[in-house]
Homo-oligomer: A and B are copies of this chain.
Amino acid sequence: MYDRIKGFRDFYPGEMAARRATIDVVEETARGYGFREIGTPALERAELWTDKSGDDIVDELYSFEDQGGRHVTLTPELTPTVARMVVAKQQALSKPIKWFSTRPFWRYEQVQQGRQREFYQTNVDIFGSSEPEADAEILAWAADALTGLGLTGEHFEFRISHRDILGGVLESYDTDLDTDAAIRAVDKSDKLSQVEYHDLLIGAGLTADQAAEFADLIAGGDLEDVEAFADSERVTDAVENLQNVLAAAEDFGAREYCTISLETARGLDYYTGVVFECFDSTGEVSRSIFGGGRYDDLIESFGGQPTPAVGVAPGHATLSLLCQRAGVWPEEEVQTEYYVLQVGDTRTEAARISRDLRETGHVVETDVAGRSFGAQLNYADSINAETVVIVGEQDLENDEVTIKDMESGDQIQVPVDSFPGDLERPTIDDFE
């Protein structure tokens, strides 16, 4: 007997039906905003990450050498791939480019609740607009997707910031700082003790006093305080941009879900502007549900024309945890409308009825295992069939079939020629 690999999941039909229903809502919401689906490869050259990304993600790559000697990796996220695709057809694509896709990604991480080594995300990105409306549309889409799943403002919040606020405040220290390291420290701060957090900031180049002061200022989250402290154009511009995004989000219906949180930094180095993370409002799901933000420099660093970009990628594992906790996860049940039961040598007629019912769009099963009446009825029950059509030899001699309602147990004989006839969805009620 073979086992599946740790961190990789099998989805049996009940759970898969719930996942599919969830993905459908998320994708339909994206289509409603005019995002277009794309398809992307599972493997890329490893350099797409080793050249540009933070160390964390590089350490977690499923990378290897293929038979042609290429250094390749299972993709740990989508952003470098969509950036590569934009660069490849930049002239031909009308802007703004609005894309979405749902697919698995892979990272060799510690397996824990809500985090597998194979995980599904729906990525949604806009390329070609630096306007605050683009950031706000990403937030509005994310809010609509979550409310479309039945969640409300009681269940989730978007914590939002701007990379240049942290960057600008750090810049205002007149010392030789490793800014990326300091930002990564802020990003991790909710998982660290105060001592650990301050130590990381000191490691990045702040003094102990500066580290304490900086941590307090950021935790305070007051935009005016931050502007006054930094007294720099960079921070003033960032605060203004953040406020503009929030104003657009107000128009787009997403402002009510947003909280300013300057500790929100996002771990990936390529973010440049507004960044945000979605959290469980109750704190029961302690990690962020998903995150996103602006990455205006990535396309150019991949060799393309300068192209602003903003995106988000809800993960379906954490999303399902949030939905389950909120009591809005779809019921895990298979649904079959008709089971056509054969008694004796009635396959030809049973097959005709099955095909007719399927042609009007119904889910229809019939016996493919040569089973008894009782075994078939049992199976029909196990697949939650609503109506069983019993096609028996004796009934057929009288040109009849029996319609059985599986909820009430009632049954009735009807002329075989009139079933299903022109009826869209015939039930016992149509014949009583």
Residues of A within 8 A of B (CB): 1-6, 8-13, 15-17, 19-20, 31-34, 36-45, 47-48, 62, 64-68, 70, 72, 74, 80, 84-85, 87-89, 93-96, 98-99, 104, 106, 108, 118, 126, 128-129, 131, 133-134, 136-137, 144, 248, 251-253, 302-304, 334, 336, 347-348, 351-352, 355, 358, 361-365, 367-370, 379, 382-383
Contact = CB atoms under 8 A, between A and B. Distances in A.
A43 B412 CA distance: 51
Contact of A44 (B5, B74, B304): B5
A1 B303 contact: yes
A318 B16 CA distance: 27
A17 B37 contact: yes
A89 B44 CA distance: 35
A40 B11 contact: yes
Contact of A89 (B12, B68, B302): B12
Contact of A369 (B1, B93, B95): B95
A133 B38 contact: no
B41 A4 contact: yes
A235 B172 CA distance: 86
B379 A94 contact: yes
B370 A251 contact: no
A368 B44 contact: no
Contacts of A5: 41, 43-45, 66, 70, 72
A106 B41 CA distance: 10
A4 B44 contact: yes
A15 B85 CA distance: 14
Q: Sorted from nearest, which 6 A-B pairs have the closest CB atoms?
A: A11-B39, A13-B36, A1-B303, A64-B64, A129-B369, A34-B365
Of A67, A85, A126, A134, most B-chain CB atoms within 10 Å: A67
A125 to B, nearest CB: 12
A360 to B, nearest CB: 10
A373 B199 CA distance: 53
Contacts of A34: 336, 363-365, 383
Contact of A32 (B303, B347, B361, B368): B361
A368 B137 contact: yes
B369 A134 contact: yes
B33 A1 contact: no
Contacts of A39: 9-11, 15-16, 19
A315 B42 CA distance: 17
B17 A36 contact: yes
Nearest to A20: B37
